[in-house]
Amino acid sequence: MRELRYDPEVDAAYVTIGAPIVDGGVARTVPVDLPDSIAGELFLDFDEHGHLLGVEVLGASALLRPELLRGR
């Protein structure tokens, strides 16, 4: 299951991959190094076993297609 939540006030999105994340479920957050020519920031959240739980997208309107953000 995947879920995308978008907050237009701060232009941030979060994509949950798999089951909903429980409190304290994120053991490590890793920033993704994007080229200078790409606006925005990405962060990957992992559980204690190294499984990817979700992706945080800052500057989401620059990084994600508009149709993904509509109606959120």
Q: In what order do the strands lie in the sheet with 12-17?
A: 2-7, 12-17, 52-58, 41-46, 28-32
Sole residue written with tokens 């992706």:
55
Provide the mean pLDDT of the chain: 93
**Tokens standing for residue 31:** 């920033």
Enter the pTM of the model.
0.88
Report the pLDDT value the prediction gives residue 4, as an integer from 0 to 100: 93
Q: What is the pLDDT of residues 12-43, one digit of tens each?
A: 999 999 888 889 999 999 999 999 999 999 99
Share of the chain above pLDDT 70, in %: 96
Report the pLDDT value the prediction gives residue 70, as an integer from 0 to 100: 84
Contacts of 1 (CB under 8 A, 6+ apart): 16, 18, 19
Q: Provide the domain count of the chain.
A: 1
Residue 34 domain boundaries? 2-69
